[in-house]
Every structure is written in C-alpha cells, then in structure tokens.
Chain A
Amino acid sequence: MKNKSDTALAAALWAQEDRLAPCVHCGFCLPACPTYVRLGDENDSPRGRLHLMRAVVEGRLAPDSQAFQTHIDRCLGCRACEPVCPSSVAYGVLLEAARESVFRARKTPFAARTLLAVFSSGVLTRWSMLLARIVRGLGFAGFAARSLPRGRTFHPVRFGLAMLEASRGRLRLEQSSDSGAAGASDYRAAGSAAPSGSVAAPSHGETPWKDGSRGRVAMLRGCVQAGLFARVNDASERVLRANGYQVVEVRGQGCCGALHTHAGDAVRARELARANVRALAAADVDFVAVNAAGCGAALKEYGHLLEADEECGEAAAALADSTRDISELIAGEAGRVGAPLPARVTYDAACHLCHAQGLREEPLMLLEAIPELVVLPLRDAEECCGGAGIYGITHAELGGEIGADKISAVVETGAEIVATGNPGCMMQIGAGLILDESDVITCHPVELLDESYRRAGFYDGR
C-alpha cells in the first residue's frame, strides 16, 4: 500500500510519529467525543482516528482513502479528548497533521476553498465582511432564515443566514427597545440611558485604573471578529483600559490562520502566522489579548506551527507565550467590579477555551464578579456546540444534532442570555436559537462586563 505518492501525502503525519506513540488505546477518550457518543462507530472516536493515523504512518492505510478522509473530516476538532487523556496525547496537533495529509490528497470542496482563499487575503476579507454587514443590516436575514423551507436543499443558506443574523449585537438592541415581554428581566427593562437607581458606586473608585500600569496590550482584532463582531473588540478594549491596561493599536495583523490550520492548509496558515508574528512582535507589548477562543488557541500554538521556521520560529514562540484570552487578563481578584446587571445568564464553554487553552474558571469568574448577574449552570457546558468552523454546513445532519442538544440545554436553564467566548460558537448557538424562535440572546462574556462598567459610569467623560 505504501507508494511514493502516499509517502509525500503522509509526510506531515510521519513528522508527528513520536506524538502518536503515547496512545495506549485505553479508550478513556471515547465518551468525551461528541461524534462517537452520537454515532457509536469507533472510527469516529479519538482513539479510532489516532489508530487510522497510525495505520497511515505504518503504511497500512492510504492517506487519500475514503475511510481516512471521512473520519478525519468528521472530527469537530473540539479537543474534548485531550483533558481526559491520561497519556497527554497531543490530539490537536495530530489532527492538524492528518488534515494536512487529507488536504494534499484531494481537491478541497468549493465552498471551503473559497472561504480559505477569502480569509487569506486582507482585502477580500474586508470586502466580504462589508458585504455580510450590508446583508445583515438590511435586517431580513433572520426572517429569511426562518421562512426558507426546512430540508437539505436550503439548509446551508438557511443556516448561513441565521448565523449572520446571530452575529448582530442583540444585547443593546433588546435593551433599548424595551420589549417589555412578560418574564423579560429588569436588565432589558432598565432602559439604555443612565439607569439612575441601579447604578452602584464603583467599588474601586479611588484606584487609578486608567494609568495603564498593568501592562501594554495589543489586541488581535481578527477577521470575522473585526468584520462582524467589532462591538466585541470595542468592548474588550474598553474593559482592558478600565482595568489598567494600556491598549496599543497594531497594524499589519490579520487572520490568525486557525481556519486554515483546521482545514489542513498548513502552507497558508504559516503565511498568515508569520505576518502576525512580524506585526505583533514589533509592537513590543507585554500581552496579546484575544477575545476569540479559536484564535487565542491558534496564537498560543504558533510556536509549534512555526517550529521549523528559522526566521520566525523564536519570535512565534515568544508571541505564543505572551498571548492571553481576554478573560485571563480581566478575571480574578484584580478585576474591577462594575454596576449591577440584574439578568439570568448561562455560560457555554467554547472548546478552544476549555479544552485547547485549559481556561475553565476564568470566564465564569468574570461573569460571577458582575453584581446581581445570575449565572445558571449549563448541562454539558463543555461539550462542543457543533459550530466547529463551518461544520454545521458541511455536516448538516450530525452538526445539527449536536447543535440541537446544545440549544435544548440552553433553553432548559431558563436563562435570557447565553454567553460564550468565541465568534463561531456565538453564531452557531445564536443561529440555532433563531431558527428555534427562541428569545434567548447570545453574547460574549466581555460584552456583559462592558455593560456593567458602562452603567457604573466607568466610561463617562472619556
């Protein structure tokens, strides 16, 4: 089975042979895997996929075989298998290598190819995001998504439109429109202009918060995040400043390349990473703050991605070391406490925060520090929402099933807001809620903190 073309295709996996070896086949990862739990086929489990990778390395399985492609494709990349692995198998790294083999072995589907091309070019990204904002601004995306007939033919369009609609900042909109529906919280009814009665005095009023003494921070502005979630970036920046960080603008940065890495397009991923390393390393900052879990995980792994790069390798590792999720910089005792925000929220742990970055407590601490905000526990909060890039579109059925489970868990909590730290998850969960005609709002945790600060008057007189 081993022939020349296979050898070239499998090169990325061969390079990771040492990382494959520690899997002792104990099977502890099986129940952690959303695809295995739902399908029951061991080929769709982390252990099974690792076994297929090993078979490729051993020359017993062709990297361009249908089986290898199907089961590697079907992985969400959520990495829930990593924290349960007693032998610390670096599944994420191995998956990327496997995806690279698959990417080289076959023609990437048109939709995915287009997406990857768009996000590798700054100009195309900006134009496509502008177009998306125009469509979103017209205000019919949600209506159209709900009106389109259910079924396979329209699914990608339907779901895509719903995702776009879900990217809108409904938090502020709902608040000012004062829908007044029964059960709507004080939070929504509180109105937008200075809610005099509910403002609490800032608890650290005397502390010179805005002096920037906690360090110089560069924000990764991202591609989708900058295009569709600019408000989250703005909120992050305000919140960072309010907590004593000096936020510096860094030009020349772009898409982090996570999408490309996950799709197996390592060549483009490295190009994008190098551009970011050059831009951000030159900025001479203490931290690089990221508010998108997927991008944060990608930046933290730049050291590995560019380990063979003589020019950028060292700077990449340094950049990875200085990367922080926004919650890491804000949460904890040093975090500033804002005004009360009487609302019920539930928190969905983005896979790339809890599994890939190991950040479980920080986002919750951030939310729990907001006075009067009730944080309701979410069943299976650490299970993937099915977002996984464009999984909901490429694997409509399975992605839909995983997504539906997340939606019912969210609705079950009785929360009015679901907070999650990744744009993909916000859109996936948001789209599911929109299509289910649910009133639950999706937002980033930092948006809630920002609102709490705004009400506390931290931004007044700026």
Chain B
Amino acid sequence: MADEPPSILPDPLTKELRDRLCGVVGDAWVIVDADRLLAYESDGLTAYRRTPRAVVLPKSTDEVSHVLSILSQEGIPVVPRGAGTGLSGGALADGDAVVVGTARMTSMLSLDPDNRLARVQPGMINANLTKAAEPFGLYYAPDPSSQSACTLGGNVAENSGGPHCLKYGVTTRYVTGLTVVTYDGEIVELGGFGRERGGYDLLGVFVGSEGCFGIATEIEVRLLPKPEGVRTLLAIFDRLEDAGTAVTEIMAEGLLPAALEIIDGPTIRAVEASVFAAGYPTDAEAALVVEFDGIEAGLAGDVERAVAQCSRAGAREVRTADSAEERLALWSGRKKAFGAMGQIANDLMVQDGTVPRSKLTEVLGRISEIGARYDLTIANVFHAGDGNLHPNLLFDRSNEDEVARVNRASKEIMAVCVEAGGTITGEHGVGLDKRRYMSLVHGPDELDAMRRIKWVFDPLGRMNPGKVLPDGPDDGKEAP
C-alpha cells in the first residue's frame, strides 16, 4: 500500500530484445531507461508504485501482435495500459512485466452513421468518440467521470460505467466486436456487427477482463441517437440521509432518470474550491443531481414528479438547469470531483463499492461511523441510482499512522458493502487493489471457474499477472 517502499528495479531487457522491439515500433517508443520508467510506476491510484521493466508503445494491431509475440517467446509477462486513469492499480506492471501502452493508437477506423457503429483504436479517448459522432446526431453512451481522459480500450478492460449507466447500461452493452491480440501475438476476432449472436458470448467474456485475457486493438461500438430533450435538476439537502431517501422515492415512483448522482458536503466544498465550481451551496451536506432525457413531451411531467419527491424528502432547494451551459456546469462539478480532491488533501484512496439501493442510507451511515472511528475525512460522491458508492478516504502519505488507518477503514467499508448484499467494486475493477477482497464475495469454486476461463485465453498466465484473481488463500495478507 501507500507505505510500501519503492519497488526494486527489475532487470532491464537485454540489448538484443530491445533491438527487436525497436525494430517493430521504432526507437522512440521503447522505454527502458530506469529514469523514464518512473512516469509509469502509478496509474490513477497512487497508493501503489510498481516500476515496469520496460514500456512499449505500438501503433497498430500488427505491431501489438509482433510485440506480444516477441515478449512471449522470452516468457515475459505483459501489462496493457491506456491513459493510466484507472483506480484499482490495474495498469501497473508487477514483477518483471513489460507495459504495452495504447497511447499512440488513437485513430477512428470507421464511422458508420447508417448502422450507428464506430470502429476505433483502443487509445481513443472516450469523449473524443462522442465528439466525432456528434455531427451525425449520435453519441457514445457510457460516460465514466474520467471520460475526458480515459481510453475506450481501458473502458473495455474495466467494463466501465458512468453516471448515465443507470438508464443506459455499461460498456458491454455497447461493444459489438473486438479485434484482440492474445499473449502469444495471435490476432483473434470476437463478435463483429451482425455476428454478436450464436454460440457462447466470448465477446461478453472479454469485456471487463481487466487486461488479463489479451489486448483489444480494435473496438467496434454501438452509438445512440442523441435524446431529443434533456432536463437536469439539482436538489440541495442539509442531511445526506435525506438525499438517499429522495433517491429511493424517485425510483419507487416508477421514474427512470438517466442519472441520479449524490455529492456529499466535503466533496461539494472541494469542487467549489476548484475551477470547476458548479455553484453548489458550500454549507449543504448533499447535492443530488437528477437528469431525465428522452422525448421532449414526457420530460416536464417526470421533472415535476422528481421535484415533488425531493421536496418531500426534505430538500431545502431544488434548481433546474435552464441552459445547456448550466447543465454542463452542474455536471462538470460532479465529473471532476475526484480530481478536485487535491484541493482538500494531498492523497486519497477512492473506494468503489456497490450496495442495493434500498440500503444506501444505512450503508452511508455506517461509512460515516467508520470514518469517525478511524479519525478520517471521507468524502462521498456516488452513482446513487444504482447504489454505486465512491467513498474518498483522504490522507497524507507522509503520515504513516494515517495510511494504516486508511487501509483498515477501506477494508471495513468493503465488508460493510458485502454484508449489505453488495459487492467490492461497481466500476473501477478489481485490479491490484481489490483482489484481496475477492474472497469476501466469491467462493473457491467460483474463483476456480474464473481461473479456468482465463486459462482459455492465457494458459501461461502472461497477461496482466497479479491482477483480479487472488493467488491463494493467503493473498489478502499481501497488503496491510
């Protein structure tokens, strides 16, 4: 964890091997100098630092295939990496692994408005796909909060969600085909437009495999027509529990908002201190963002019913965004919340757990109690509509005692989520950080079944080793 000593530098690649990799991708795209590897020792979860043995940045499916084939001949494991915005340490190279990054694979391969399909390289940034589809009245639905920076390859690996997955579902619902390179350089086609059905859903198995099965080098996704109308409203609460109640009531009312997001008091204050200030009142204890989209005619009624539920739950104020700019500002505050935590603390551990919606209020109360017990500030920002919690545990890495408390509190929060009938991750993935919690939710048989599925794609265990599946029953002891 955060207090672990910087990892021991792995053996550099032999000159012969380096030359072969340079021959494939070009000298500038093989990074072996120990100093230059530092930038790759963390992803979005800085609590961990692992120095890779090398970083290789290919440009095409063929180059990825050649690189993986060469590495496989030498028995060297591979860790795929997109923009390194992940929050579970999934893009860190453990041991003697080489990072294969997709940062140069950013092209749009084809855009087919008639069939509402796009085929992209995995390094394309999520938001850029929507930008490219916009002139055709289309957009790409999954919108992780990091969408301005995260890559579609990373989204496929993590099966990413986002605020709007409440109504629209997560990444797997939109991926129609993949070109995948397996550990030994073999190029495999999974699915493809019109060929998604028939036989077992291998495509579905691959999406969300966290880079443990192979590297997706081409991604084909479904696009959606932009909804005719959008209404966003913001309800301000003096108590976090009341916002949770409002969420339950809105859903019980039979409404299906496109998004239902809660930002708690500490988070409001961090966001408002940042350049993305959205105008949330800083003395409030919760802000609830509710969004409806669809056919214009139905929206006014939905908004009215949601406003009524918010007021009944005790909202002191309900605002509706009147212009597109106001709507963007409301969302910007929510979407940059994680990054804005630097305004109030130097380090943070963002947790990711899911609980049944009906248990939201209860679980939030218990998290707050855990925070108090360990004397930690916990800022909550979460996808309330689908019960996906993101408690941000704030700390300072130079305070060893605090780091230890963060670790213990994290574990307790995970246990609380599982106990409430939820699970240890909603959308950030298991990666390196959460595999110690895997046994809280999965029994030995289930884990064994997962191992056997991985074996089909990666029989020698070369892809993203040390992630997702615990090595054995003692695995939880690895981290404090």
Residues of A within 8 A of B (CB): 21-31, 36-37, 39-43, 45, 47-48, 51-52, 55, 60-62, 65-68, 71, 83-89
Q: Given that A41-B57, A67-B33, A68-B35 are contacting pairs, would A22 and B83 also be in contact in the complex, using a CB cutoff of 8 Å? A: no
Could you tell me the distance in whole angstroms from the C-beta of A390 to the nearest C-beta in chain B?
A: 22
Residues of B within 8 A of A (CB): 6, 28-29, 31, 33, 35-36, 38-46, 57, 83-85, 101, 103-104, 106, 123, 125, 128, 146, 148-150, 271, 274-276, 336-343, 346-348
Q: Given that A43-B36, A67-B36 are contacting pairs, would A28 and B336 also be in contact in the complex, using a CB cutoff of 8 Å? A: yes
Residue of B29, B271, B339, B348 with highest tally of chain A CB at under 10 A:
B339
How far, in angstroms, from A36 to B104 measured CA to CA in the complex?
A: 9
Could you tell me the distance in whole angstroms from the C-beta of A406 to the nearest C-beta in chain B?
A: 19
Interface on chain B toward A: helix, strand, loop, or mixed SS? Answer: loop
How far, in angstroms, from A333 to B106 measured CA to CA in the complex?
A: 43
How far, in angstroms, from A45 to B40 measured CA to CA in the complex?
A: 11
Residue of B123, B128, B271, B347 with highest tally of chain A CB at under 10 A:
B347
For A48, the closest partner residue in chain B by CB is B39
Given contact pairs A27-B44, A28-B149, A87-B339, enumerate 14 new A-B contacts (beta carbons under 8 Å).
A25-B46, A26-B338, A29-B149, A30-B85, A40-B57, A40-B104, A41-B29, A42-B40, A52-B35, A71-B36, A83-B275, A86-B338, A86-B343, A87-B343
Could you tell me the distance in whole angstroms from the C-beta of A14 to the nearest C-beta in chain B?
A: 15
Report which of B33, B46, B101, B104 forms a contact with A24, defined as CB distance below 8 A.
B46
How far, in angstroms, from A193 to B96 measured CA to CA in the complex?
A: 75
Could you tell me the distance in whole angstroms from the C-beta of B384 to the nearest C-beta in chain A?
A: 21
Could you tell me the distance in whole angstroms from the C-beta of A159 to the nearest C-beta in chain B?
A: 22
For B337, the closest partner residue in chain A by CB is A86
How far, in angstroms, from A45 to B101 measured CA to CA in the complex?
A: 14
A-B contact list, 16 entries, CB within 8 Å: A26-B44, A26-B146, A28-B146, A28-B148, A28-B336, A29-B149, A31-B83, A40-B104, A40-B106, A43-B36, A51-B41, A85-B339, A86-B276, A86-B337, A87-B343, A88-B342
How far, in angstroms, from A30 to B82 measured CA to CA in the complex?
A: 11
| Residues of the A chain whose Cβ atoms lie less than 8 Å from the Cβ of B146 | 26-28
| Residues of the B chain whose Cβ atoms lie less than 8 Å from the Cβ of A65 | 35
Q: B342 touching A22 by the CB < 8 A rule? A: yes
Q: A60 touching B38 by the CB < 8 A rule? A: yes
Q: Given that A42-B40, A51-B38, A68-B35 are contacting pairs, would A87 and B340 also be in contact in the complex, using a CB cutoff of 8 Å? A: yes
Q: Give the total number of A-B pairs whose CB atoms are below 8 A apart.
A: 123
| Residues of the B chain whose Cβ atoms lie less than 8 Å from the Cβ of A42 | 39-40, 84, 101, 103
How far, in angstroms, from A74 to B142 measured CA to CA in the complex?
A: 35
How far, in angstroms, from A308 to B85 measured CA to CA in the complex?
A: 37
Q: B338 touching A24 by the CB < 8 A rule? A: yes
Report which of B39, B104, B274, B343 forms a contact with A52, defined as CB distance below 8 A.
B39
Could you tell me the distance in whole angstroms from the C-beta of B203 to the nearest C-beta in chain A?
A: 27
| Residues of the A chain whose Cβ atoms lie less than 8 Å from the Cβ of B341 | 24, 87
Q: A27 touching B84 by the CB < 8 A rule? A: yes
How far, in angstroms, from A25 to B125 measured CA to CA in the complex?
A: 17
Report which of B38, B41, B45, B340 forms a contact with A86, defined as CB distance below 8 A.
B340
For A67, the closest partner residue in chain B by CB is B35
Could you tell me the distance in whole angstroms from the C-beta of B411 to the nearest C-beta in chain A?
A: 22
Report which of A30, A36, A86 forms a contact with B342, defined as CB distance below 8 A.
A86
Q: B38 touching A88 by the CB < 8 A rule? A: no
Could you tell me the distance in whole angstroms from the C-beta of B472 to the nearest C-beta in chain A?
A: 31
Q: A61 touching B38 by the CB < 8 A rule? A: yes
| Residues of the A chain whose Cβ atoms lie less than 8 Å from the Cβ of B276 | 86
For A24, the closest partner residue in chain B by CB is B342
Could you tell me the distance in whole angstroms from the C-beta of B261 to the nearest C-beta in chain A?
A: 16
| Residues of the A chain whose Cβ atoms lie less than 8 Å from the Cβ of B337 | 86
| Residues of the B chain whose Cβ atoms lie less than 8 Å from the Cβ of A29 | 149
Q: Given that A26-B85, A28-B336, A40-B57 are contacting pairs, would A86 and B274 also be in contact in the complex, using a CB cutoff of 8 Å? A: yes
Q: A86 touching B275 by the CB < 8 A rule? A: yes
Q: B149 touching A88 by the CB < 8 A rule? A: no
Residue of A43, A61, A62, A71 with highest tally of chain B CB at under 10 A:
A43
How far, in angstroms, from A29 to B339 measured CA to CA in the complex?
A: 10
